[in-house]
Every structure is written in structure tokens, then in C-alpha cells.
Amino acid sequence: MPFPMTNQVPKAQQTPKHYGITSPISLALPKESDLHLTQKLTDALKPFGVFEEELELQRRIMVLGKLNTLVKEWIHDISESKNIPASLIDNVGGKIFTFGSYRLGVHTKGADIDALCVAPRHIERSDFFTSFYEKLKEQEEVKDLRAVEEAFVPVIKLSFDGIEIDILFARLALQTIPENLDLRDDNLLKNLDIRCIRSLNGCRVTDEILHLVPNIENFRLTLRAIKLWAKRRNIYSNILGFLGGVSWAMLVARTCQLYPNAVASTLVHKFFLVFSKWEWPNPVLLKQPEDCNLNLPVWDPRVTPSDRYHLMPIITPAYPHQNSTYNVSLSTRNIMADEFKRGLAITDEIMQNKADWSKLFEAPNFFQKYKHYIVLLASASTEKQHLEWVGLVESKVRILVGNLEKNEFITVAHVNPQSFPGPKECSDKEGFSTMWVIGIDFKKMEGSEHLNVDLTFDIQSFTDTVYRQAISSKMFEPDMKITAMHVKRKQLHQLLPDQVVIKKRKHSTEGLRAMNESGVDLCLDSDNSMTMTFPTSSSSAAAAKSGLSLSPPGPVESTAGSDSQGKADPLGGVAPFGAQGTPALPEEMKPSSSPPLVSRNVGKRSGSPLQPEKVKRLELEEEFTSEVKASEQREGPATLEPEAPVETEEKIETEMTEVGADQESPAQKIPSADLSDVPLLPANPFPVVKNSIKLRLSR
């Protein structure tokens, strides 16, 4: 078959002196108990659908074979039309390569395939997006065909015989494409445009990883376990600031290098041991970086000052070497560090036969973990607009997390990688919406009874960034909106599916059964958010009974003006999901209106002044008022005191008050840089939604 799982990768016959940049930690051979634990690990993984059946695998190989044949036929036809000599046409070649989870051999049931079409020098990129696109359209097996030619990495997406495939294109400076072409050869990058280099990068990195591990089968089983664990623990998403599939693969590969003779059960345990003690931001490297004198930008903190600020660098092993985790923030790194420590504690128990592997894969109840949440809602009037809008908003959620964690009273801002269909803002208007939930931990207050925390600007600078990006890229429509709301833990059930908010943690197989019945697939091979089915109705009576009052005081129509200007950000993403058929927002939960806000950039924010007041017990309260003057008379104006981010994770009961804002606050008058990554607004901006959230914390 043309696409075996281990094509072009010879299995290690003997363990060489060492792999990677250091000598191994241990060369110990596996014991009988290690092999037994590995079998138990395999058995524990099976219920989660991480292994694909042989028939399905053969179907994938057949589909890729057909696609490879189509590529060869297309290149042959184009070669004839361009008057290539007949002696060359028969040998001109062309080939489909795979990368990502399928190439690594760790794809799950129903996962998509990442593919690369490699063509000789006389085939243009425009040919790929015109004549090859038309050839695909003629195939009966091809459905949902769409081209994204203007993407950072241009791609054709399609479903071939029910299998989702993303095809990139690379044109090499070669007259013909031989069947035994090794894409790891750095000389292939000479005289290529940057889009072809980006397209080749996925295959080159994947192939390097497979060549840098001592035992591929042990690597694969270990990676399956770690990917499942990361998805179950809600820390699998590159676009939202956690780690994506390639980053997890490189961490597992480094573990395999350090313990070259270990089997999967031992490697999983050592994975948590190594990275729970890793001293970030020391980089993870699978090989020494190489300089190929091609003048391509590479990750090097000695040369590039911005690289020195990366919090959790994991460096790709193929030239040009890049940091695959530049989206990681302080909050997401701290969350992952805690999960590494938890994983080590559990695997310690497993190694001592005090626990089963199922305990490692228990899913946390994210919606019971925090007392306070920010719910972010992105909505549009049509499904096509919604898909584009949600893709843009999701790619920028990390900016909101960065804004929130800069607030001196917030210790953790934790976004759930899963997205959910959202309730409609207006029951009389059809539309599509998606929401994300961000858990917030507030700093424990010392020597004070009350403080006021204003999140308005943190959220507003994020929404302004998204709107500016949408307008500058000419995708913005007036019905595209972003709404942010503060929600307490006890109120989340009003917005989320019944299957999601589980107050009591279910144990092991019960929890898995509940998740399976709710239609949630935690094993999707994607860095994008995952969708979930939303209930078909929502009870406004229940909302009234619970006394739920959601802010912001919006939507409000106003001018999307901003004084800010930021750097261009190459990151983008499209998350293909919709929210059709979602329930209307109950009357009690609809945002009310307030006058427009004017937002400016800010770097470091602090809360409002502390107000001493003696109280005998901790209490939780929330109220809404649209009168800013009244609130300022009661609470006093906000002030700014730049301070370093707080890294503690202590929790405290809080009293919350949300108030509207109808004028610019002092906090918004501080000029500074934020995380904006698009230019200033054009001359005639569209009206956009403004949000205001002010919280009052009490002891």
C-alpha cells in the first residue's frame, strides 16, 4: 500500500549511544511488571476510542491512494498543457505526503487527515487552487469542498468518501518529484517562497520526530495516552494557549529519548516526572538546532529579543526551528504545571498498584472548579458569517486571557477548550452563536474587607482588537457581535447543556458513559475547540427562580473607535462548528442597554481602591445598576497602580456587584500598549457591541 503507517521510517534495531541533546537518564530494560502495566494501559485506552479498527485504517489508505492518483493525473495534464517535453511528462511525478496525527500513527476514530501535495517547479500554486480544485469537484466521493487560499497556510478542505482531509500545496524547485523523496532534506527549501516553506514544515517536523525516537511503537502508545489525558483534562488546544498535538508529541519524544528502553507504562510515568520538574522557560529540544544559511527566521533568544519572553518553549526539530507554544500564557502554563504534578501523583500510585489507569483519565468538572466565570458569546446572523466570525474570535480568546491575567486581583484565567452553542441574545431574531467559558480565580485579599475590580477595559480592549481585525480583513458584518458576561458558578446551568454541569464527579467508567451518552467526543484530533449539543429549550422561570442577572449592560450600538495600534499577528484559525437550533435567552438573562463606552489600550491594570468595612462572615451577592454616578459615589473612582502579575492560586468567597458604565473611566485614560495585533480602524467603522463588567469583592 502507498501509505503505510511507518512509511520511510525504519524501526530502531538497537538503541544507539543516545538520542537528543543529552545522554539518557536511564537505559534500564523493562521488567515483567512494566509489560503488565503497559497491557493494562492499552486496555484502559480502548473504551475512549483512541484505536482505529483495521478496516477503517485500510479505508484511509485506499482513499489516500485515490487522492495520490488524482494528483499524478492532474500534474500530467498540466504538464502537457504547458508543453513540457513528452520524455519528461511520464516521469514528472507528484505525490501526496501525510503529516500530523495520522503520519505519527496516533490518529483516533473519525479523525481528519493532514496531507501535503508536492509538485514540480512548473506547477504553480494558482494551478492547485483552480484546475486541481475543479478536478476534485468532479469526483463523486468528494463532498464539502472548499478552498482557503488566503489563509496563513493556504489549504483545500474536503471530505473524501466520508474522511475529512486538509490538503496543503508545496512546489519544489525540482524538475521531477521522485517516489522516494525525503522531505527532511534541507536543500529542498532553497529557492522556495514562504508559503511553500510553511506548507512543508508539518511533514518535515513529523518525519524528524519519528526519526528522533528510539522505539516508534512505544512512542505511539505513550503519545496516545498523553493526548487522551490532555484532552480529558481540558489542556489540549494550541489556539487557546495550551499545547497542540505537535507540542505534546515533542514532549513525549523527549521523554522517549531520556528513557530509550522503557515501555509505554514507564514512559507515561516518566513523562510526568520530567515535566513536573522542568524549569521553564528552558526550552525542550529534540536535537541541536542547525543553521542552513537560508536566512529564514528561527527561534533564537540570543538574536531575537521577543523569543526571550516565551514562557514554555518547545522547539520544532526541523529547520527553520520554531517555538510551537508561543500562545502559552502565564495562566495556561500554571494550569498545565498543576496537571503535570497531578499526573505524577496518580502515576506514582499506579506504579505501586494502588490505583488503575482509569484514574489518570478522569475528567475534571471545570464548571465546579471556579466560583466565578466569564462567558464569551460570539454571534452572527447567518451560518456562513458565524463560521468565519467564530474562527476569528476563537483565535483571539488568548488575548482576553492575557488581559485578564494582567489584572492584579486575578491569579488564574482558565479558558475551557470546549466551545458550546450559545443562547440567542434576542428571542425575536434568528441567528447563530457560540460561547466559551473562562474560569476566574481572584487573589486572596490581605488586610482589607472590600475592593472593586473593573474588568470592563480588559474585555473591551479584547473586543476592539477582534473588531479591528474583522474590519481590516473586510469580513465584518453589522450583525457580528461579541458579548461578555460575568456568571457565578451556581448560575452556569442556565447557559450550559444539562450533561455538562455535573455537580458530583462521576467515577471512572460512569463518567465516561455519561460523556459518551451526551455526544461529547474528547478524542478529536484537532487543536480547535470542540462543540457540544445544546438543549432544545431553556426555562426562563428557572432563571427567575435563581435570581440570575447577567452583565454586560449591552448589547449597545456605538462607534468602534480606538487609539491603539499593535503588531501584526500571523496566527489565525477556523473552527467549523455552528449553533443552529439553540434556545432563546430567557428574559431575565438578556443583557440590558447602556450608553456607549470608549476604550483605549492599557498594559498593566489594577483594581479600584480598597474600602474597609467590617463584616462577620464571607458572603456572596450580586446586583446590577445602570447608574454609574451612583456607583461612583458609593465606591469611589477607579485608580491605576502598575503591579507584577500575581501567581498565587488561593481562593476566596466574594461579594460581587456588577454596574453599568456610561462614561470613560480613569482606567481607560492610561495610554499604553496592549495585545492588539491589527492596525487602526478605517474611516467609517461599523457599530459594535460594547461590554462593561465591574465586580465588588468582599470578605
Active site residues: 101, 112, 114, 166, 227, 236
Q: Which residues of 266-297 are buried (b: 16+ CB within 10 A; e: fewer)?
A: bbbbbbbbbbbeeebbebbbbbebeeeeeeee
Q: Measure the CA–CA gap between 233 and 363, rounded to whole angstroms.
A: 6
Q: Which long-range contacts (CB under 8 A, 24 or more apart) does 30-33 make?
A: 30/261, 30/262, 30/263, 30/266
Residue 147 Cα to chain centre, angstroms:
22
> Which residue shows C-alpha cell 481585525?
469
Cβ neighbours of 193 (radius 10 Å):
11
As to burial, measured by CB atoms within 10 angstroms (0-12 exposed, 13-18 middle, 19+ buried), residue 74 is buried
> Which residue shows C-alpha cell 517516489?
179
As to burial, measured by CB atoms within 10 angstroms (0-12 exposed, 13-18 middle, 19+ buried), residue 51 is middle
Q: Measure the CA–CA gap between 173 and 200, rounded to whole angstroms.
A: 13
Question: DSSP string spanning 243-310?
Answer: B-HHHHHHHHHHHHHHSTT--HHHHHHHHHHHHHS--TTSPB-SS-----SS------TTT-GGGGG-
Q: Measure the CA–CA gap between 479 and 462, rounded to whole angstroms.
A: 18
Q: Measure the CA–CA gap between 143 and 163, rounded to whole angstroms.
A: 10
CA distances 186 to 212, 276, 402, Å, are 16, 34, 36
Q: Measure the CA–CA gap between 200 and 666, rounded to whole angstroms.
A: 49
Cβ neighbours of 86 (radius 10 Å):
9
Tell me if 675 sits within 8 A of 566, measured CB to CB.
yes
